[in-house]
């Protein structure tokens, strides 16, 4: 999926805002209902790379009637972004049941609009730590019932996930996907790979084998749930 980036710069030299817009076109819409349908009200959701999923995923979490009044989401993430602000302001995010830095939103970096930067400015609820801390699976697993949401560029039928290259061409860094997948599985919780089933051009992102030269970001031994617009595929312990 092609992305468009917009930057703006505050003349005071203090603020740099960033907005990423996903081109829609013929790209199928990921079903957010599928991603949140098997999240129980007793689960504690810790997000990672949710910015790479459509904003409707967050909206679907907010719309769950059975979660009304439930302090569900606790944020321990690599990236803090605009989409999480409404959940914080709506009282859904409190962090009261976190074992690692309770009552705090923990992240490594923030990227988004001016509203985001003003939200985190001098906000005692938001703590930034280095990636060696936030992405440490030994730290992540200390929180109870972690649900980690990550995205992918391609997945094959054995469950191998490629999230950082398109064939042999590097698209992004590896990031903390494997850290959060592993941490969530050990918490024990629900590691989720969420992605549309096809690219904007109509090419399937689910293939028999990964493209030649594609990297394996998350191994088939670590993948639990894959979510597309068609629903949820539980892959854990399934034969290759």
Task: Provide the annotated active-site residues.
Answer: 78
The two beta strands, 225-228 and 190-194, are parallel
Alpha-carbon distances, residue 42 vs 70, 148, 189, 212, 237 (angstroms):
9, 15, 11, 42, 24
Q: For residues 213 and 164, what is the distance between their CA atoms, to the nearest angstrom?
A: 12
d(CA 176, CA 204): 25
Report the alpha-carbon distance of residue 191 to residue 45 in Å, rounded: 10
Question: Phi and psi for 87 in degrees, rounded to 5?
Answer: -70, -35
Taking the C-alpha atoms of residue 159 and residue 225, their distance in angstroms, rounded to an integer, is 10
Rg from Cα positions in the chain? 17
Torsion of CA 156, 222, 76, 116, to 10 degrees: -10
Burial bucket for residue 136 (CB in 10 Å: 0-12, 13-18, 19+): middle
Angstrom distance (rounded) from CA 76 to CA 100 = 9
């Amino acid at each position: 999926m092609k992305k468009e980036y917009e930057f703006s710069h505050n003349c005071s030299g203090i603020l740099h805002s960033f907005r990423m817009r996903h081109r829609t076109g013929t790209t199928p819409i990921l079903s957010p209902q599928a991603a949140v349908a098997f999240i129980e009200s007793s689960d504690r959701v810790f997000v990672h790379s949710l910015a790479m999923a459509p904003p409707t995923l967050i909206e679907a979490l907010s719309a769950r009637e059975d979660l009304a009044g439930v302090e569900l989401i606790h944020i321990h993430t690599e990236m803090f972004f605009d989409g999480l602000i409404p959940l914080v302001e709506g009282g859904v995010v409190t962090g009261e049941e976190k074992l690692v830095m309770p009552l705090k939103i923990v992240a490594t970096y923030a990227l988004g609009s001016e509203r985001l930067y003003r939200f985190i400015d001098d906000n005692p609820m938001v703590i930034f730590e280095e990636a060696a801390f936030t992405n440490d699976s030994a730290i992540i697993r200390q929180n109870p019932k972690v649900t980690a949401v990550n995205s992918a560029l391609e997945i094959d039928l054995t469950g191998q996930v490629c999230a950082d290259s398109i064939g042999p061409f590097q698209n992004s860094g590896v990031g903390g996907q494997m850290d959060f997948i592993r941490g969530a599985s050990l918490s024990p919780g629900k590691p989720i790979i969420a992605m549309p089933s096809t690219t904007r051009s109509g090419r399937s992102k689910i293939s028999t084998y990964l493209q030649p030269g594609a990297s394996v970001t998350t191994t088939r031994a670590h993948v639990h749930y894959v979510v597309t617009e068609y629903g949820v595929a539980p892959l854990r312990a399934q034969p290759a």
